[in-house]
Amino acid sequence: MASVALTHLDPASRAAARGWSDLTIRNVFIIPTLAFLIVFNIFPLIYSLGYSFTNFAANRSDPWQFVGLQNYRELLSDDHIWSNFVITAKYVIVSVAGQMIVGFGLALLLNRSFPMKGLITTLLLLPMMMSAAVVGLFWQLLYSPSWGPINYVFGLGDFAWLSNPDSALYAVAITDIWMWSPFVMLLSLAGLSAVPQHLYEAAAIDRAGWWYTFTRITLPLVSPILLIALIFRTMEAFKTFDIAYTMTTQPTAELIAIRLYKQAFQQWDTGKSCALAYIVLIMVLAITNLYVKYLNKVKER
């Protein structure tokens, strides 16, 4: 769809029929949105930036002091925090890679016509429509060492997925893959169905095999949309909290968001946790920025 600059009202529109001017539309729709964003997003953002330079604690009424960069200095030299970041990095890599592979693979399988395609696609999308906390709780049951169906099906005896320090993080990542692969699948399907059929026919005529066609035609044409899926999933995985928090208490699965939560609402170290939130924000921004730069390069090709 072409985007048209809204310089005047479409005379056939309902707004015009009601006699609304551009000014009215601006006042009715845009100003409330802006006000909402400022009050609930931008203001807390700036306010927490201020807190990050203090030793403010939200559960005490003691006067707080300005401490400069001390919070940041302490956080960045804290080995504990760094190990949280390493855990998060492992988690992001495993779960995003898994989602990309499973999601794109499913999309390749679904990108043809077969009976009940619509129904199957819809069913496959269900996981991502559920609440993350519910997914976490259910998978905790599935993983249960004594009577969980997963151990039963794979014959793993009483292997304790979620309380084993070596496996807890990956167990959470598998759940995340289950939940979010459909998202990658949906975007990939959109990308795949946008590849014109006549290109595949031309390739068949040119005697190209399946793999050659896939790497030379399908992948290059789908890669921009795959990168968008990758950006979204990386950002989301980086700040995963709910699934991991409901599923396990293992320190080896303590993602940075969980650490942040504990610091803010268990230790009530509000100033320091604001600083940590800012460090996370800057990291996510940096990673996203890298992707977007690469995406623009891919699109130019």
Contacts with other proteins by CB under 8 A lie at: 196, 198-199, 201-209, 212, 216-217, 220-221, 301
**Strand extents, DSSP E, the chain:** none
The first and second tokens of residue 9, run together, are 């009202």
Q: CB neighbours of 191 closer than 8 A, spacing ≥ 6?
A: 107, 221, 222, 224, 225, 226
Nearest distance in Å: CB 203, other proteins = 8
- Residue 145 has a CB neighbour count (10 Å cut-off) of 16
Put residue 10 in one of left, alpha, beta given phi > 0 → left and psi -120 to 50 → alpha: beta
Question: Looking at this protein, which amino acid is placed at residue 112?
Answer: R
Q: How far apart are CA 38 and CA 167, in angstroms?
A: 42
Measured from the CB atom, is 208 or 281 closer to other proteins? 208
Measured from the CB atom, is 19 or 209 closer to other proteins? 209
Nearest distance in Å: CB 295, other proteins = 14
Q: How far is CA 174 from CA 169, 288, 291, in A?
A: 9, 23, 24
Measured from the CB atom, is 8 or 301 closer to other proteins? 301
Nearest distance in Å: CB 210, other proteins = 10
Measured from the CB atom, is 93 or 219 closer to other proteins? 219
From the CA atom positions of the chain, what is the Rg in Å?
24
Measured from the CB atom, is 129 or 205 closer to other proteins? 205
Alpha carbon dihedral 12, 14, 18, 22, in 10-degree steps, equals -80
Nearest distance in Å: CB 217, other proteins = 6
How many CA within 13 A on the CB side of residue 149? 4
Measured from the CB atom, is 221 or 284 closer to other proteins? 221
Nearest distance in Å: CB 23, other proteins = 42
Measured from the CB atom, is 227 or 277 closer to other proteins? 227
How many CA within 13 A on the CB side of residue 59? 7
